[in-house]
């Protein structure tokens, strides 16, 4: 995507973060969230729910 000159938006980040949480790659999910913030992409409530649910399942 980036190679083609497109920057990820909030929907793209939500999908990637969700996929990483489902794969139990929590560090990568948090890294994507930090990348998103550094690129001034606003986190939506949906993204926060993905993180809460994904990271919460880590303990279960």
The pLDDT assigned to 47 comes to 97
The pLDDT assigned to 2 comes to 72
The pLDDT assigned to 58 comes to 66
Query: What number of other Cβ atoms are within 10 A of residue 1's Cβ?
Result: 8
Q: How far is CA 45 from CA 3, 27, 48, 51, in A?
A: 29, 20, 5, 10
The pLDDT assigned to 57 comes to 75
Q: What string of pLDDT tens digits covers the 60 residues of the chain?
A: 778 888 899 999 999 999 999 999 999 999 999 999 999 999 999 999 999 999 887 665
CA–CA separation, 1 vs 12, rounded Å? 10
CA–CA separation, 51 vs 22, rounded Å? 10
Tell me the pTM: 0.86
């Amino acid at each position: 995507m980036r190679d083609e000159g497109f920057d990820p938006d909030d929907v793209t980040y939500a999908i990637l973060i969700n996929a990483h949480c489902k794969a139990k790659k929590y560090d990568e999910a948090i890294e994507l969230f930090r990348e998103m913030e550094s690129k001034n992409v606003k986190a939506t409530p949906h993204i926060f729910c993905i993180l809460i649910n994904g990271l919460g399942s880590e303990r279960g």
